[in-house]
Amino acid sequence: IDEIEALSSIYGEDWCVVDEDEKIYCIKISDCLDQPKWTLCLQVILPPGYPTAEPPIYQLNAPWLRGQEYTELANSLEEIYVQNLGESILYLWVEKIREVLIEKAQSSDPEPDIKKNSEEVDEDDGDFLLEYESIQEDSIKTLNYMTSESQEDEELPPIHHGNPITDRRSTFQAHLAPVVTTRQVKRVLEKLYENKKIASATHNIYAYRIYCEDKQTFLQDCEDDGETAAGGRLLHLMQILNVHNVLVVVSRWYGGILLGPDRFKHINNCARNILVE
């Protein structure tokens, strides 16, 4: 409790309580410049055994944070936890992330080409608007580093469309395709974006899980597309349902009325319905 009160006073508006009972918090971290170039959102859940026996459960949200950069930053946080076993470490984590962002800002890394923002930011919701989010084309580009070097076009899997859910003029619709390679994921996304209505959606959130038999591990990833943390929640739903070899995309057309946390309920309900179907 003392740590939470201290962090709240240190970080002010950048600190947000997502769920007090479940001890879920969000911290928006930037590179300290007057006009931040690099921003990241750290979401943490403090389990009952924290800090003496359990580490925080965390998620790093930033559209530019991929692959090796994500792994290196996650490893740094886990190293800090190991070096400070039994102690409160959130402040150390936040400042480590800020240090990484400052290094990126001072290096020659190009600014992220980001143009899309979430339509909704509501204080009671606890979901931070990142200062930038990825556009749909970037969603496809992020898969390029993972796809096979082979230029052979794999067969486009069948795409299923779920029943839309409409609430206060916002509409949500899920799309699903069976996939076994990241190249198929890329092809399905490209095919969906050929549809002008889907391409014009305010957000196209997606997640996929591919089971690799040889390694007995999952290849999985997600994309918020401007709706902070929505992709991670969608992927978490798929993990709970233990689905294999599937891509789920949820399109949301914003209707001008803020839905608050209800929007996440609709995104997950759309996804759950099409998975069950």
Residue 136 has pLDDT above 70, yes or no: no
Please check whether residue 222 lies inside any domain of the structure: yes
Please check whether residue 72 lies inside any domain of the structure: yes
Q: Last residue of a domain, which of 106, 123, 144?
A: 106
pLDDT recorded at residue 151: 38
pLDDT recorded at residue 132: 27
**What average pLDDT does range 190-209 have in this prediction?**
92
Comparison of pLDDT for 130 and 230, the residue scoring more = 230
> How many domains, the chain?
2
What is the distance between the alpha carbons of residues 161 and 26, in angstroms, rounded to a whole number? 33
- pTM exceeds 0.95 for this model: no
pLDDT recorded at residue 120: 59
Residue 234 has pLDDT above 60, yes or no: yes
Average pLDDT of the chain is 80
Range of the domain at 27: 1-106
Binning pLDDT at 50, 70 and 90, where does residue 140 land?
very low
pLDDT recorded at residue 126: 36
Q: Are residues 87 and 169 in the same domain?
A: no
Q: Last residue of a domain, which of 106, 124, 144?
A: 106
Read off the CATH number of the domain in which 203 is found: 3.30.230.30
What does the longest C-alpha to C-alpha distance in the chain come to? 57
pLDDT recorded at residue 257: 86
Binning pLDDT at 50, 70 and 90, where does residue 112 land?
low
Read off the CATH number of the domain in which 7 is found: 3.10.110.10
